[in-house]
Structure 1
Amino acid sequence: MNLLFLLFIFSLTIYGVFEGEDIGELINTITKANGFYLTIGVLCVIFFIWCESIIIYYMMGTLQVKNKKRTCFMYSCIGFFFSCITPSASGGQPAQIYYMRKNKIPISISTLVLMVITLTYKSVLVFIGLFLVLFQHRFVVKYLTGILPVFSLGVGLNVICCIVMLLLIFYPALTENLILTCFKALVKLHLVKETSKIKKRILHSMEQYSVTTDYLKQNKKVLFHVIIITFIQRISLFFVTYFVYKAFGLAGTSWYDIVMLQAAISVAVDMLPLPGGMGISEKLFLTIFIPVFGTDLLLPGMVLSRGIAYYVQLLLSAGGTVLAHFYIGKKSE
């Protein structure tokens, strides 16, 4: 069902973007782009994926869980691949937890680590969104007037999401009650059987979870380091559009404006129930980047920017996921 939904959204996106366009002329324009800058854009995507693997490696290390860096890179690929193909990027963390469990990493630890990563990932977007709204009024008026409703919705949803995750991370009792409530609901729906063994495993996991959250509370510098790396990570992906802009030999718009425009799109679509923000991301790009690329290079700019930042990321992370499937857990078995 998810695959069918993904193909459906992809088909609508292709139709909406390319309807009535001269594909031959589009391809001709794209082939004239400077390959050097496009290569830098691809390297930004690789760096983006690599940054999360460094965060996973760092946080697992502080929690005395040993991992190889290449294995953490596979975890990162798994997360981005499933996030790219599921609505609201909801499939990434469960898939990562599954593969981490195959490597004997306790679910309580992997869940908390990935929740912290998700929190910081979204916190950077919230910071950028609020910064634009509160301190960049001229920028908002100049570029974002046409997408303000969607942008405001994105900021609001990310703020709510961050608040919920903060509560789950720093109030383990709340998390325990939530999990036990879900367990009871599954029992009532006859999806699982209520056994003392399952309940004991849940409570044991929550004890580990509580110990881990206590450790993070006492070592706030770990969170600070993760936030710094995450900020660099997110900005690196937004720079893809800037390098596409340079690839066409354009000038006149600062790197800051281009990066913040791409960040605004991410803020707007991050929580929407569409795989990788597909469809809406393209629409927003074609709306707010007109002053940057102009009418002639707007569509080619969008195709290259979106193609590198999303579709290249999808292909690279898919390759990493395939490797992970055949590598992770096999050695121990």
Structure 2
Amino acid sequence: MKRKNIFNLLVLLVTAAVVVGCLFLVDTPAAIFGALRRVHPVFLWGALGCMLFYWLFESLALHLTAKRVYPGQRLSDSVSVSMIGQLFNCITPFASGGQPVQAWRLARCGMPLGEASSALLCKFIVYQTVLSVYSLITLLFRFSYFASRVSGFSVLVLVGFCVNFAVVVGLVCICFFPRAAKALGMALIRLLCKARLCKRPQEMTEKLSREIEGFTKSFRLLRRSGWILLGLVVMTVLQLTAFFAASYFVCLALGAREVSAFTVICASAFVLMVSSFVPLPGASGGAEGSFFVLFGLFFPSAGSVALAVLLWRLVTFYLPIAAGSLFWALPQRRQPKLC
């Protein structure tokens, strides 16, 4: 494993140790162990079930696009590649390591690298767009509820939403106006060169051209495949809902049963928005802190909230790392490329 990934794993381990340490600082040990004894295991199984559905819909979404560009793609390979992507998304900042590893893994399954990149870009475009729309809906229905109860909530959530929305706007601009996007990128490279922040302008220019060409190719593929596009949208909505619903079952497990499922799902979406601009693997620190603040509205004691943070992070973050590591360790059968 590369040194960079080892460093990221160390960051995650340190963060986990800090979370556990803070667990015993926010309340008395007696109160924390009392809350732990009152945990209902049935609801924790519900949270695990949500993660299984999350992985299922993630794998099906990947399989839809992969099968479109490479008819020989097997569902088992799509599941394996999807789970490996979960691992590298979790251990790299801004989930930046998932797609390159997935493209490499798809190529080892026999898919040409260009088609693998195109399939992953199609999925990424749909995911970012659906996430932005999903976030907008939660803002419309529950923004005032949390803004009136949590100090500083408005700024953090709006910044997070703007970050995600800016990504979608950038993708749309690249897809519909590739020449203008390329010209803007070239101007930015020249500006960086003048500021002596760009040491390899030719290499950056070539990479910019490849990326824009890849996005436009993927966008044309989506436009020609209406049913696949619809299937991707449905799978992504179900995927996000399953992920956000895991926190609802964590709340139920700890006795917070008066809050509505929709409010908890919105709170989870807000946590994702707030933590989206934290430049650490798994948004470490930002995810735990925002969850503690927002979900503190649903629990009577700080100890219960801290325990909820720990259980939620175990189910939605450390479990995918463990599961993805298992798939990464499994031997893979290489297939000959068809082209």
Segments of structure 1 that go 5 or more residues without pairing to the other structure are 193-198
Counterpart in the other structure of 1:327: 332
Counterpart in the other structure of 1:80: 86
Counterpart in the other structure of 2:317: 310
* Cα distance, 1:175 vs structure 2: 8.1
Mapping 1:1-333, distance limit 5 Å: 1-8=4-11, 10-12=13-15, 14-15=17-18, 17-18=22-23, 20=25, 22=28, 26-27=32-33, 29-170=35-176, 189=200, 213-295=219-301, 296-323=303-330, 326-329=331-334, 332=336
After superposition, the Cα gap between the structure-2 partners of 1:228 and 1:174, relative to the gap in structure 1 and judged at 3 Å, is farther
Q: Secondary structure at the match of 1:94?
A: helix
* Cα distance, 1:56 vs structure 2: 1.4
CA contact (8 A) 2:122 2:218 kept: no
One-letter amino acid matched to 2:171: M
In the alignment, the residues of structure 2 paired with residue 303 and residue 35 of structure 1 have an alpha-carbon distance, to the nearest angstrom, of 15
CA contact (8 A) 1:33 1:248 kept: yes
* Cα distance, 1:42 vs structure 2: 0.9
Q: Secondary structure at the match of 2:72?
A: coil
* Cα distance, 1:55 vs structure 2: 1.0
In the alignment, the residues of structure 1 paired with residue 233 and residue 109 of structure 2 have an alpha-carbon distance, to the nearest angstrom, of 26
- Give the number of equivalent residue pairs: 318
Query: Can you list the C-alpha shifts for 1:217-241, whole angstroms capped at 9, x where unaligned?
Result: 2223322221111011011011111
In the alignment, the residues of structure 1 paired with residue 212 and residue 163 of structure 2 have an alpha-carbon distance, to the nearest angstrom, of 27
* Cα distance, 1:212 vs structure 2: 5.2
Q: Secondary structure at the match of 2:289?
A: helix
Q: Pick which of 277-286 and 120-129 moved more.
A: 120-129
Alignment root-mean-square deviation, CA: 3.3
CA contact (8 A) 2:61 2:235 kept: yes
In the alignment, the residues of structure 2 paired with residue 33 and residue 294 of structure 1 have an alpha-carbon distance, to the nearest angstrom, of 15
Q: Pick which of 280-289 and 82-91 moved more.
A: 280-289
In the alignment, the residues of structure 2 paired with residue 160 and residue 265 of structure 1 have an alpha-carbon distance, to the nearest angstrom, of 18
CA contact (8 A) 1:77 1:316 kept: yes
One-letter amino acid matched to 1:299: A
In the alignment, the residues of structure 1 paired with residue 174 and residue 333 of structure 2 have an alpha-carbon distance, to the nearest angstrom, of 29
TM-score of the pair, normalised by structure 1 = 0.82
* Cα distance, 1:24 vs structure 2: 6.9
CA contact (8 A) 2:142 2:266 kept: no
Q: Pick which of 136-145 and 312-321 moved more.
A: 136-145
* Cα distance, 1:158 vs structure 2: 0.6
Query: Can you list the C-alpha shifts for 1:110-134, whole angstroms capped at 9, x where unaligned?
Result: 2222122222222233223323444
In the alignment, the residues of structure 1 paired with residue 173 and residue 85 of structure 2 have an alpha-carbon distance, to the nearest angstrom, of 23
After superposition, the Cα gap between the structure-2 partners of 1:168 and 1:30, relative to the gap in structure 1 and judged at 3 Å, is farther
One-letter amino acid matched to 1:300: L
* Cα distance, 1:28 vs structure 2: 5.1
In the alignment, the residues of structure 2 paired with residue 8 and residue 113 of structure 1 have an alpha-carbon distance, to the nearest angstrom, of 31
One-letter amino acid matched to 1:18: L
In the alignment, the residues of structure 1 paired with residue 296 and residue 230 of structure 2 have an alpha-carbon distance, to the nearest angstrom, of 37
Q: Identity of aligned pairs, percent?
A: 20
In the alignment, the residues of structure 1 paired with residue 210 and residue 296 of structure 2 have an alpha-carbon distance, to the nearest angstrom, of 55
Q: Secondary structure at the match of 1:159?
A: helix
After superposition, the Cα gap between the structure-2 partners of 1:328 and 1:276, relative to the gap in structure 1 and judged at 3 Å, is farther
Q: Secondary structure at the match of 2:161?
A: helix
TM-score of the pair, normalised by structure 2 = 0.81
One-letter amino acid matched to 2:144: R
Q: Secondary structure at the match of 1:289?
A: helix
Segments of structure 2 that go 5 or more residues without pairing to the other structure are 194-198
In the alignment, the residues of structure 2 paired with residue 141 and residue 8 of structure 1 have an alpha-carbon distance, to the nearest angstrom, of 31
